[in-house]
Amino acid sequence: MEFSEALRTVAKALRQAAEGKASAQAEAAEWKRRFELQMAQNQQLEHKGKSPGECNGDINAQQMENSTSQPMLRNEANEQSESCCINGLCSHEFLHDGETDSRGKAVQNKMMRKASFKLSWRCKGDENDQHKHDIVSFERGNITAAGRSSKQIHLKWESTPQTVLVMTKPNSTSVQILCAEMIRWMKEHKKLNIYVEPRVMGELVSESSYFNFLQTWKDEKEIMSLHTKVDLVVTLGGDGTVLWAASMFKGPVPPIVPFSLGSLGFMTPFYSEQYRDCLDSILRGPISITLRHRLQCHVIRDAAKNEYETEEPILVLNEVTIDRGISSFLANLECYCDNSFVTRVQGDGLILSTTSGSTAYSLGAGGSMVHPQKTHLAESHAFS
């Protein structure tokens, strides 16, 4: 057993080394590509004797080459784009979408720009870099720290939002009526591109042909690239709808605007009756936002499983529950943090919740409510 464990450890180390080498090679190739592109641009500037016709021919040939693969994602040739995360939310990207829908109607073929934005810290309405971190004072031996406020983080749009995703609570007539009304308003008054779930798309199109302009997705692959198209997510429902919207995005999540139309409302601060004023203010900006933390979970089902057969990580906004399942015996769990032993749990299971999830299952199991601005991880015992 010890020898097999050692082999698995060596195999894991070799795999990590190979992955690191591949990542380094990919990064080196990217920098080489950028260098060659810059050199080519410099050479074009030096050869000013080139005729305009030849230049136009090169541009047209490049455009034809780019149009063969659709949809196409590329970065804007701008120095400002280097300061933004390519895979994150603050990015300058173009999406060339030339697909057609099931009704044979061509989806917008023009170049769509995903709106970029900037986050800043503010204190009493004024932008101030001091408040990026807690301010600690040691004056007269009295240690104090500046408390954070939900109003400190501001979002300022650097370009106008163009695309909105609307997600709704299912099987609700009032939600369906408000959804249709809100979509009409956003299309007619704000000229926005609107995505909806396939279920909502079917309901609205069957109600009226007016909603044929709506866009949706067909498979998991299109869902994975949704964050590159959507600037804003609007949810109509309760906290469950917000959780469902967050689970749709396996990576970066666009800003979510949750309107309260459900039974619980810990994460739905906006009133549905005031959606026009709310959306108008949000689309204009700047606005105060609340950053909510998610857990990245890795499931290891069997110690004897092949090291190379790994599962995709799961991003969780609410909580993770580890329970005894159908077993009639109590679960014995040992909890570690950074390889340091924390505690041992004997019972039906364990609930590990984020600050957002502290008002859900964890609260029902006797846990404490934690402010969402905190970076804590709440632990509660599960009872069946």
Q: 156: closest CA among 290, 288, 291, 293?
A: 288
Report the distance separating Cα 251 and Cα 87, nearest Å: 8
Q: Mention every residue, 6+ apart, whose C-beta is less than 8 A from residue 72.
A: 66, 94, 95, 96
Contact between residue 270 and residue 281 where contact means Cβ atoms under 8 Å apart? no
Report the distance separating Cα 350 and Cα 357, nearest Å: 14
Q: What is the DSSP letter of 101?
A: -
Q: 167 is written with which tokens? A: 């997600």
Report the distance separating Cα 254 and Cα 229, nearest Å: 10
> What residue type is assigned to position 249 of the chain?
F
- CA dihedral angle for residue 18, residue 21, residue 26, residue 28, rounded to 10 degrees: -170
The end-to-end CA distance of the chain, in Å, is 36
Q: In 334-352, which positions are buried (b, 16+ CB within 10 angstroms) versus exposed (e)? A: eeeeeeeeeeebeebbbbb
For residue 376, count other CB atoms closer than 10 A to its CB. 13
Distances (CA, A) of 368 to 1, 190, 354, 363: 43, 42, 11, 6
Residue 312 C-alpha from the chain's centroid:
16
Element (H, E) at 120: strand 117-123
Residue 39 C-alpha from the chain's centroid:
36
129 belongs to the catalytic site: no
Report the distance separating Cα 370 and Cα 384, nearest Å: 23
Which candidate in 126, 231, 239, 338 is catalytic? 239
Q: Within 13 Å of residue 368, how many CA atoms lie on the same side as its CB?
A: 8
Report, as residue numbers or ranges, the catalytic residues.
239
